[in-house]
Structure 1
Amino acid sequence: MKAHQCEQDGCHRVIPFEERYCQIHAKLHQDYRGRNQYQINQSYNRARSKDDRIKFYHTRTWSHLRQLAIQRDHSLCRYCLIDGIVTPFEYVDHIVPVEFDVGKQKDITNLVCACKSCHEKKTAWEQRYYGTGENNQLRHRVIELMNVRAVANAMNG
């Protein structure tokens, strides 16, 4: 039988390999396990759905949508154009992040060309507003901003 020591600091009791804590310390950590199980499940689901989202960017559908957005925006950053600045695009970005609303992943009206600077600003704003990105909590009760001007004002404001 495999065994190891209890994970509680300072405890040297030998317990079965499948357990984390001895009987004494397991009671102290029951609440801890329950709270973290939700976080573990949420992280797993986000990672799994992230893999699915990444696969999408290697499909013909994405290539076609991307080309349509580039042609529509004339290869220029739409966020910069709002301020009257002409900047070539580097990214085709989702206005509403796919992590927040996967239903808008294939919606051409949810795509916009962005330069590197605007893309970085928008990504930082998304993390604050929508709660996207690593180690963040998605905020499901926020209003989706689909208007490029509204997003530009929010990320620059």
Structure 2
Amino acid sequence: MAKYRECKNPTCNELVQFPERYCPKHKLEQEQKKEQERKEKSYKKMKLYNQHNRNKEANTFYQSKQWKQTRNYIINRDNYTCSVCGEPINNRKIIDHIVPRRIDKSKELDENNLWTLCYRCHKVKTDIEEQIINSPNGINKIKHISKENWIKYIKERIKK
């Protein structure tokens, strides 16, 4: 025999089949509430990171009107897809500097130095970048890696 219990919403007396906790109406409300809480937590975490960990000058740059306009242009130019793997990007839009901003600030708003990456490809690129930077003559090497070579390196690393 199926077990039932009351909806967990305090104002609702509808019975729901175990293991459900909410009736269909309140289940949707609960999911929306959880999603909103997740977004707020993520926003607070990013805000704290920006205030305490990120370089102040970098934070100012990433909050600038110029960057936001350029960022939106790049996302649209790349059709909301990762420039490496082609996956659609819905929620976590990462606009990456091909030559890192900290290495060559003259290219920080250069459209040819910016591309849209998914979280996975961005993580792989960042890991490769750090390895190269920490190698002899690494900064000079990073300055000269083309977009095409980055695509090749990232795809090779993802295959492993």
Q: TM-score, normalised by structure 1?
A: 0.56
Q: Which runs of 5+ in 2 are unaligned?
A: 1-53
Say whether residues 1:140 and 2:127 are aligned partners.
Answer: no
What are the superposed Cα offsets for residues 15-72 of structure 1, whole Å, 9 maximum, x if unpaired? Answer: xxxxxxxxxxxxxxxxxxxxxxxxxxxxxxxxxx932122100000001100110110
Q: Distance in 2 between matches of 1:138 and 1:54?
A: 28
Q: Which amino acid aligns with 1:140?
A: I
User: Which residue of the partner structure matches residue 154 of structure 1?
Assistant: 153
Instruction: Give 1:139 shift.
Output: 2.8
User: Which residue of the partner structure matches residue 14 of structure 2?
Assistant: none
In structure 2, the CA distance between the partners of 1:146 and 1:51, relative to structure 1 (3 Å rule), is farther
Structure with more of its chain in helix, by fraction: 2
In structure 2, the CA distance between the partners of 1:141 and 1:92, relative to structure 1 (3 Å rule), is closer
Q: Which has the higher contact order (CA 8 A, sep 6+)?
A: 1
Identical pairs, percent? 25
Secondary structure in 1 aligned to 2:71?
Answer: helix
Aligned pairs for 1:60-139 (under 5 A) are 60-81=65-86, 86-88=87-89, 90-131=93-134, 139=138
Structure 1 runs (4+) greater than 4 angstroms displaced: none
Aligned pairs for 1:23-34 (under 5 A) are none
User: Which residue of the partner structure matches residue 54 of structure 1?
Assistant: 59
What are the superposed Cα offsets for residues 113-152 of structure 1, whole Å, 9 maximum, x if unpaired? Answer: 1111011111111111234xxxx998333152232x3102
Q: Which amino acid aligns with 1:117?
A: R
Give the count of matched residue pairs: 100
Q: TM-score, normalised by structure 2?
A: 0.55
